[in-house]
Amino acid sequence: MAAQNDRPNPAALAEKLGHEFATPRLLEDALTHPSLSGGRARKKGAPYERLEFLGDRVLGLAIAEWLYETFPNAAEGEMAKRHAALVNRDALRAVAVDIGLAKFVRLAKGEDAQASRKNLATLPDAMEAVIGALYLDGGFPAARTFIHKYWQQDIAVPETPADPKTTLQEWAQGQSLPLPTYRVIENTGPAHAPRFVVEVSVKGCPPTQAEGNSKRDAQKAAAAKLLETVLKK
């Protein structure tokens, strides 16, 4: 791992977040991955993971409120689909990359810091932890201001984003076929940077495999690959 003083000052990140922390320790906790403390952190309840838990709920509420105000005529089902697309790991990862979050995260010594920080698996969790820190330090308005700034482009999409798994399920139902089934073929890598290979099967179609940084990502990638095949027929 690179020396601690090689890591950018969190104050630079705070500027991108648009918030001056009254308690800088909160942001430090949000940027300290549990791997830095080993298994002991999980047993005691690592601040990072507690902030991640909180940030997930804060993001969910902020997006739900925003959708309610932005789409006054949308049905509950449409808002639910939009909400799912805006709070998933892909959305969190995109914002994390946008603000350069990876270079601020502290990782355990002995790891290949550059490879770990570039690994996309850690970024959604770290992004949620940062949102949790924003909420605790500045309240809901501070968290909401940040979310509105970086999710603006996605929430403005005029149509509900399509999820490959949902699209594949709807296609199968339209063909009077059983629902798609997903199976984990392989699970490798350390806890903080896993790699999953998932296979999706639909009756009458060749099984298709894809990989991702989480089971959900791998499932979506596999569904998208199978859709490319079946929709060309």
Residues recognised as catalytic: 56, 128
Distance CA 109, CA 29 (A): 17
Whole-number Cα distances in Å, 32 to 19, 113, 122, 226:
19, 13, 11, 38
Sheet bearing 181-188, strands edge to edge? 181-188, 195-201, 208-212
Distance CA 124, CA 109 (A): 21
Distance CA 66, CA 96 (A): 20
Q: How many residues does the chain have?
A: 233
Q: Which two tokens stand for residue 149?
A: 């700034």
Q: Which two tokens stand for residue 147?
A: 């979310």
Distance CA 233, CA 58 (A): 43
What are the DSSP calls for 100-152, one per residue?
A: TGGGG-B--TTS-HHHHHH-TTSHHHHHHHHHHHHHHHHHHHHHHHHHHHHSH
Burial (Cβ within 10 Å: 0-12, 13-18, ≥19) of residue 28: middle
